[in-house]
């Protein structure tokens, strides 16, 4: 067996240290070692987006990221989208209010990617659709999800 690797993360704002096998996925570190089960595994192949987390602020599919490669990084999971005050992220609120949550399994990934999209401030609907298209959802048909993105901070169409 290969030697375990030490991984230090700023995980949802907190400094954490883990010792993991070199082949361990970031997804498994989060779900099993850190106990953060909000991040879901839908395919294990980077296709569905259910395991999306923010790595140094950028959305990544954590099933395709080796935990060992994240040493020194900042990782934000769905649990970490809550503000320090406990207030949900505007994308989370918008998903609930727009009816963008059905079975909920893709929802944490959608919320994380959505938060990244809102942070980037993308205004036009086709661009929002494109940016969220790495997150598969089988229940909603995406219409309420796109509405939620618009409500959460993307300016109305044409306003740029």
Partner 1 sequence: MAPSEGAPGLPRAEALPPTGHHPRPDAWGKVLGQTRYVGDLSLPGMLHAALVTSNRASARVRALELSAARSLPEVVAVLTAADVPGANSVGVIFPDQPLLAVDRVRMVGERLALVAARSREAAAAAVGAVRVELDPLPSVHDPVAALAPGAPLVHEGGNLIRTFQVVRGDVARHFRRATVVFEAEYRIGGQEHAYLEPQGCLAVPEGRQRVTVYASCQCPFYVQQAVARVLGLSLAAVRVIQTPTGGGFGGKEDYPSEPAACAALLAWHTGLPVRLVYSRETDMQLSSKRHAMVVRHRWGANGAGKLCFAEVETFMDAGAYVGLSTVVAERANVSAIGPYHVPAVRVRTHVVYTNNLFGGAFRGFGAPQVSVAGEATMDALARRLGLDPVEFRRRNVLDDRRRTTCTGTRLERPVLARQCLERAVELAATTPPVAAGRGEKVGTGVGLVLYGCNLHHGGQRLDRSSAVVILQPDGSVVVRVGLTEMGQGLLVAVQTVAAQALGVPPEAVEVCLPDTSTVADSGPTVASRGALAAGRAVLDAVRRLRRRLDPVAAELLHCPPRQVELLGGHARVRGEPERAVPIAQVAAEMAARRIEAIATGWYRSRPRRFDAASGQGGAYDFYAVACHLAQVVVDAELGLVRVARVVAVHDVGRVLHRPALEGQIHGGIVQGMGWATSERLAVREGRLENPSFTDYVIPTASDAPVVEIEAIEGAAGRGPWGSKGIGEPSLIPTPAAVRNAVCDALGIELFELPLVPPVIVAALGQRHPFAWLREQPADEGVGVR
Q: Considering only residues 56, 71, 120, 143, which one is a binding residue for partner 1 as defined by CB under 8 A?
A: 143
- # chain residues binding partner 1, by CB under 8 A: 53
- Give the Cα separation of 130 and 65 in Å (integer): 22
Residue 132 makes CB contacts below 8 A (sequence gap 6+) with 110, 113, 114, 117, 142, 145, 146, 149
The CB-of-151 to partner 1 minimum distance in angstroms stands at 13
For residue 71, the Cα-to-chain-centroid distance in whole angstroms is 19
Stretch 95-114: interaction string toward partner 1, x if CB under 8 A: xxx-x-xxxxxxxx--x---
The CB-of-82 to partner 1 minimum distance in angstroms stands at 7
Task: Give just the sign of the alpha carbon dihedral 5, 59, 113, 48.
Answer: negative
Write out the binding residues for partner 1, residues 122-141 only, by CB under 8 A: 126, 128-130, 132-141
User: Site residues (CB under 8 A) for partner 1?
Assistant: 31, 36-45, 47-48, 50, 77-79, 81-82, 88, 92, 95-97, 99, 101-108, 111, 126, 128-130, 132-146
């Amino acid at each position: 067996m290969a030697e375990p690797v030490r991984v230090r993360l700023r995980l949802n704002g907190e400094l954490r240290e883990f010792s993991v096998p070199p082949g361990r996925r970031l997804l498994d570190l989060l779900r099993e070692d850190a106990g953060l089960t909000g991040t879901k595994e839908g395919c294990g192949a980077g296709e569905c987006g259910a395991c999306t987390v923010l790595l140094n602020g950028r959305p990544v599919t954590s099933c395709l990221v080796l935990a060992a490669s994240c040493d020194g990084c900042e990782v934000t999971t769905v649990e970490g989208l809550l503000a320090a005050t406990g207030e949900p992220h505007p994308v989370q609120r918008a998903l609930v209010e727009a009816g963008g949550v059905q079975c909920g399994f893709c929802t944490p990934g959608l919320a994380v990617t959505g938060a990244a999209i809102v942070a980037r401030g993308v205004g036009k609907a086709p661009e929002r659709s494109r940016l969220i298209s790495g997150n598969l959802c089988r229940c909603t048909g995406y219409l309420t999800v796109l509405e939620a993105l618009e409500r959460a901070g993307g300016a109305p169409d044409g306003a740029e």
